[in-house]
Amino acid sequence: MVKRYEQYCPMAHALDLVGDRWALLVIRELMHGPKRYTDLVEHLPGIGTNILAARLRDLEGNGVVARRTLPRPAASKVYELTDYGRELRPAMRELALWGARSLGPPTEKDELFEGWLANAMDIVAPLAPAGRFEFRAGPEVASLVDGEVQDGSIDDADVVVEGDPEGIYSLFVDRCLDRVTIEGDQRLLEALLDVAPARVATPVTT
């Protein structure tokens, strides 16, 4: 049975299109470019292949995702966002900013997926001041260059920040500079932190 809210409301309609479990996470992965089915399985640990197939089918049917075949010699079938699908980026950033305020820092039990640091930088990218920032957390390296996210390191960074995942979270959400090492223009880094999400004052209970 297909579940719908049956309300003439743009928010209800949006949730009809992308509100099913896993749908927005599939879209999150495709925001970084086309992916093969196997790439999505790898980057979405815990999703059942039947669920992934169903979500891709629904998203394609709703005009959010499209399939195409890469040119030879690859000739692989990939999924990618349509223009309509890519227009979700601002809404997803706002949702991520809101969630980051009560997420809490990662613990040893949390499994961080490859690319998590670039995803975190993408949340604040549109509001970032002009400058060249490089962030390092173990094997993860991501950079912000004039509001654009780049994977990996950059030359001539104005600021280089290094720490563990918990320290990076505390830096952005709690404005805590003591748990990371900072090289370069600390005032520029503080300008970036001014646009980052602040932790909610009252703990969220579930």
| HEC string for 111-152 | CCCCCHHHHHHHHHHHHCCCCEEEEEECCEEEEEECCEEEEC
pLDDT value of residue 74: 72
Cα separation, 173 vs 105, in Å, equals 9
CATH class of 91-193: alpha beta
Q: What is the pTM of this model?
A: 0.83
**CB–CB of 81/64 below 8 Å?**
yes
pLDDT value of residue 198: 83
Question: Which residue intervals of the chain bear CATH 1.10.10.10?
Answer: 10-86
Cα separation, 142 vs 196, in Å, equals 16
Closest CA to 118 of 182, 191, 43: 43
According to DSSP, the residues that pair with 181 across neighbouring strands are 162
Mark the ranges of the chain whose per-residue pLDDT is less than 50: 1
pLDDT value of residue 206: 56
Could you tell me the CA-to-CA distances from 148 to 24, 121, 206 in Å, in that order? 22, 9, 35
CATH number of 10-86: 1.10.10.10
Neighbours of 148 (CB within 10 A): 12
Closest CA to 117 of 59, 184, 171: 171
HSE, CB side, 13 Å, CA atoms: give it for residue 161.
30
Instruction: Sort 59 into a burial class: Cβ within 10 Å, 0-12 / 13-18 / 19+.
Output: buried
Mind listing the pLDDT tens digit for each residue in 138-158?
899 999 999 999 989 999 999
pLDDT value of residue 48: 94
